[in-house]
Structure 1
Amino acid sequence: MVTSDAKRKAVAHACTVHAVSQRRACLALTIDRSTVRYMSTRPDDALLREAMKAVAAERRRFGYRRIHIMLGRQGIVMNQKKLRRLYREEKLQVRRRGGRKRALGTRRPMLVPDRANARWSLDFLSDTISDGRRFRVLAIVDDYTRECLALVADTSLSGLRVARELDGVIRLRGRPGTIVSDNVLCREAALGLGQQVSSRRRCADVGNKLIQMVSTVNGIAPSHSKHRIQRH
């Protein structure tokens, strides 16, 4: 409880639910009675709030400074600090835009596979359950047939778990020519496959293991690229 309004609501809740007096509720919550009993004489500025919300609804990317200018053009002259206070009370703050991810290098179109098992794609989705817990879904798709080879949902999907799921699909469908993914778990999955899958592979990081991890696809830097695992 930080604001005076929140403190007043807490005292009112205690008085209603526990059937205690205002004095005892203030003592229990360590709130000064003068804070609860104070009645503001400041006008509610209802017309000003409506005008401000109308401008904010029309100009969704305008902050309080630009809204102050727009209201001034309508003949509404007021202190900018007061407008800022009302702006925050109405929760009209504009959300900050996230930075754009800029790809490095030259993009090259990805080749279309000409047969089944030529290329698999790994995609990771996430959502939230009604109780607030997050879960992830791993989808493995054949890029030629567009068939979903596996769909795995769990609250946690580590690189080793992804490797185990890939191992199971490989036993049923055979080894793909290429596996692509835009998620960093693909790298961990490649290392896990080298430890679990019996097939021979090469890895750029571990010279004595036959796993190969190609980090750049489409001419994009590794941090923005799709990781590719090639079969040899």
Structure 2
Amino acid sequence: MVISIASQKGGVGKTSSSISLAAGLARKGKRVLLVDIDSQSNSSKVLLPNYTQIQKNQTIYATILERSPLPIHETIILNLDIVPSHILLSNTDVELTTAIDHREERLKRELDAVRDRYDYILVDCPPALSWLTVNAFTASDKVIVVVAPGYFELDSIVQISKTLKEVRELFNSHLELAGFLFAMADSTVNSRTSLQILRQTYTGSVFNTVIPRNTDLRDAHFNRQDVFSFNPKSPAALAYTKLIGELFDL
């Protein structure tokens, strides 16, 4: 199964969710590949201690721009591999906008070549609705949309839902919305109201699991660890474990 983790807005917990889901599944004995197509490369920086030594041609840049096979690297976590990103990936939209040769399928073609080696492939999407995101959605079976509290965060869902619909109609008729994941939740009125609006507006499409705002996530990534390695009993770790159970019945 190929699952994209997406959001139109940055700072909502998308990359934290990508790392945590990948690490959590790997720790349950599943073979997992995390594909980082966010040019900020934060997933890559957390999971690859030698990331600063990795060359451009050893990243997803080579697959998207040079149409090379996926450059897969082992991570510090057993059962978890990663295809790292690169800062220059931020320039790919210019080339893909003018390309005419199935520009939406560059990622899918290479993922199809390796998907039988993994139980789950997760794609950490950029926080924008670009051709990279379209590539991810075209290659995916399902999409998890991460949402944080706030008016602009909720408003961004409208556009990402439209993109899902368009990709389904044009490129991938089997694409499904796995659900909306409410992250960075706290005890404020803003957070409670945002979750209430989300559940009322998208009835049946919001995960029961809510990811709390938790400094352990930030501290784990600062120390280049996933949250399960850093503090397996933290509220965030327990929430992601619950989400894995809800999503995959594990």
Q: TM-score, normalised by structure 1?
A: 0.25
If asked which structure has higher relative contact order (CA below 8 Å, sep 6+), I would say: 2
**Which structure has the larger Rg?**
1
Structure with greater proportional helix content: 2
